Amino acid sequence: MPNDKDYNKAQVLIVGAGPAGLATAIQLKAIKPQINVCVIEKSADLGNHNLSGAVLEPQPLHTLLDSAVPGWQDTDTAKELLAKKVSKDNIMFFTKKFAFGISPIIKLTAIFHLGFGQMLHKGDYIVSISELTKWLGRIAKDLGTEVITGFAAQDIILDDDGVTKAPEGWPYNVGSKNGEACWGTHTCHMGVVKNLKALAEIPPSKISDGVMDIINKAAEYMLNHHVYKQSHNLDAVAKQEWVQFGFPLFWKIDALEVLDILTKIGFKDDRMKDAIDLIVSKQNENGRWILEKSFNGRMQANIEQKGKESKWITLFALRVLKRFYS
């Protein structure tokens, strides 16, 4: 273990010099120039791991840079990087023999804020993400951020009162190298929940010891988080959307789904109580629950209405409460 003198300390450490990490650094330095910000990047040079082509909406770039770097648009690099703009949208639908222009339909969907509207790019910049990353890196450095490349984050030390490491073993050691479906150093909550959801479908008589071991580990992981909180700060909701109930959820999760899975397998644990109370608190005067988040507009057909009573959420909530209290 290196001693304290071996460390460089930073008030804010950002892992990953992609557009998100660098934008965070730029924004932080713009708001609080005195703050000490360091970005570490595992690739040998900026932009090396950011290789996709991209159409880039101008507005977020303006929001980020207009106040942080006055006059940024007049620099040679900006002019060169943002030289190409999408001048026209021409979206085609192909059959074996024919091609139809469907841009007018897509434009119509955009007026109604439907998902397909995102296919329109007129006015967006055509940039290389790699070049964009290099440029944002230079801006971050100019603003005083320390950017260190060739430096991969290995581990998270959760608490600063003593060194608390994440427990060993699945699901705590997951990451892209270990074949988990999500990326990053922190365990992917959604990945754990969806694993557990699939395993919960196995009939009890067919659950092997190995599967039971995984079920117990995944459940213990969720229980350590009191279903929807930060394990190292149980006063804080880990992600706001996990306390908003939705249907269908696809890859997303919420506290209701986690409880539905845990109670289906038969778990009843005091650490579920906060989430149970959350469900109870959301029941309305008609004894029903509201659909709080929705994929409507992004599916073939809409399912129920956001902000209105939901038969699905009501079914899941009543099912969970019945199982927990029976």
Ligand X SMILES: Cc1cc2nc3c(=O)[nH]c(=O)nc-3n(C[C@H](O)[C@H](O)[C@H](O)COP(=O)(O)OP(=O)(O)OC[C@H]3O[C@@H](n4cnc5c(N)ncnc54)[C@H](O)[C@@H]3O)c2cc1C
**Nearest distance in Å: CB 150, ligand X:** 9
In the complex with ligand X, the residue whose CB is nearer, 17 or 259, is 17
In the complex with ligand X, the residue whose CB is nearer, 34 or 90, is 90
- C-beta atoms surrounding 241 within 10 Å: 16
In the complex with ligand X, the residue whose CB is nearer, 21 or 191, is 21
**Nearest distance in Å: CB 68, ligand X:** 17
**Nearest distance in Å: CB 225, ligand X:** 22
Give the Cα separation of 130 and 133 in Å (integer): 5
**Nearest distance in Å: CB 47, ligand X:** 8
**Nearest distance in Å: CB 214, ligand X:** 25
In the complex with ligand X, the residue whose CB is nearer, 68 or 222, is 68
In the complex with ligand X, the residue whose CB is nearer, 21 or 171, is 21
Footprint on this chain of ligand X (rule: CB under 6 A): 15-21, 40-43, 49-50, 52, 54-56, 129, 152-153, 185
The long-range contacts involving 271-277, CB below 8 angstroms and separated by at least 24 positions, are: 271/223, 271/224, 271/226, 271/227, 272/223, 272/226, 272/227, 272/324, 274/226, 274/227, 274/229, 275/226, 275/227, 275/228, 276/320, 276/321, 276/324
How does DSSP assign 244-282, residue by residue? S-BSS-TT---HHHHHHHHHHHT---GGGHHHHHHHHHT
Q: Which two tokens stand for residue 186?
A: 């922190």
